[in-house]
Amino acid sequence: MKRIGVLTSGGDAPGMNAAIRAVTRTAIYNNMEVIGFRRGFEGLLDGDVVPLTVSSVGGIIHRGGTILRTARCDRFTKPEGVREGVARLKEYDIEGLVVIGGDGSFRGANELYRLGVQVVGIPGTIDNDMAGSDCTIGFDTACNTALSCIEKLRDTASSHERLFIVEVMGRHAGYIALEAAVAAGAEFVIVPERHFDIEQLCEKLHYARERGKSHSLIVVAEGVMSASELASQLRDTSGYDARIVVLGHIQRGGSPSSFDAVLASRLGAGAIDAFMRGESGVMVGREAGAIVTNPLTLAWERKKSLDADMMSLVDILGI
């Protein structure tokens, strides 16, 4: 393999730049050329390319976001769009493509693979909801960002003896909510994977007040409901007056944590190693500390499950 391409697709995640850097430098170390496609599959179809060199990826490992930028691409969801992508790769003599993104990006990568393109995926999403890797790039940083914000809110909650609801990202997965709730010592967490009962929540709040607790923190994943909706339910059900904070896209930004920078570097190098072993149609991941490969399809065919012990821990420690 003499020339490879790399792109970032879907939502950005801290550590994507570290992955781009690792892909580029590992490929060059192994005598390959590297071409970057800007704006994901959109840039692939438009021919928006940039040569990547050892120097051009210098100084980016600590930067959040992605230097290649990212975008959604409706054209690539159609068969003619995928065929056009194959033609573009042939036009630029690309022999292998590295796709950094979430399961939606992997679905697009898999369509290219089905048409004969050599493809390897790197899981980059703050949601950590992809099977095939214990952690995805950006998750640890997003959790630390949420934790930092929640810790500041606890100071205010304690000072004013108030109930706060913190809404974090996670439309279909509660990994950020759960991790941040445990790390911050939140009293309650509400996630898509677990049935939510407003009456049960009110009972817990009432019990906490009875034993003299003056403030509480609830972390809710956006996929269950908004913080404002939860505040309305609490007010209507039991008369609780809650302050709300929505962290939003702040969770996607910032420099990657040490864990994410290392993970992204290992996975980026692992993608090139996979190509050199002749593997394709696979994703690289980290399982039990080792870098492994799994079929791209695993990312959406197998549902990743929240740690039940962690869920119990919130209930136990939040009494």
Q: What is the pLDDT of residues 218-245, one digit of tens each?
A: 999 999 999 999 999 989 888 888 889 9
Tell me, what's the pLDDT at 215?
A: 77
Tell me, what's the pLDDT at 210?
A: 78
Active site residue 127: yes
| pTM (2 d.p.) | 0.94
Q: CATH 3.40.50.450 region(s) of the chain?
A: 3-138+256-301
The radius of gyration of the chain's CA atoms, rounded to the nearest angstrom, is 22
- Domain 3-138+256-301 class? alpha beta
Q: Which of 147, 237, 142 is closest to 185 using CA atoms?
A: 147
In the chain, which stretches have pLDDT less than 70?
Answer: none
Tell me, what's the pLDDT at 239?
A: 83
Find the catalytic residue in 48, 74, 93, 127. Answer: 127
Tell me, what's the pLDDT at 158?
A: 78
Q: What are phi and psi of 280, to 5 degrees?
A: -155, 160
CA 10 → CA 40, 163, 186, distances in Å? 8, 35, 30
Q: What are the tens digits of pLDDT across the range 187-224?
A: 899 999 999 889 988 888 888 787 777 778 999 999 99
DSSP string, 191-249: -TTS---HHHHHHHHHHHHHTT---EEEEEETTT--HHHHHHHHHHHH---EEEEE-GG
Tell me, what's the pLDDT at 73?
A: 87
- Asked if residues 17 and 255 have their Cβ atoms less than 8 Å apart, the reply is no
- Asked if residues 133 and 102 have their Cβ atoms less than 8 Å apart, the reply is no
**Per CATH, the architecture of 140-252 is what?**
3-Layer(aba) Sandwich (3.40)
Tell me, what's the pLDDT at 203?
A: 86
- The CA distance from 230 to 220, in Å, is 9
Query: Number of H helices and number of E strands within the chain?
Result: 11, 11
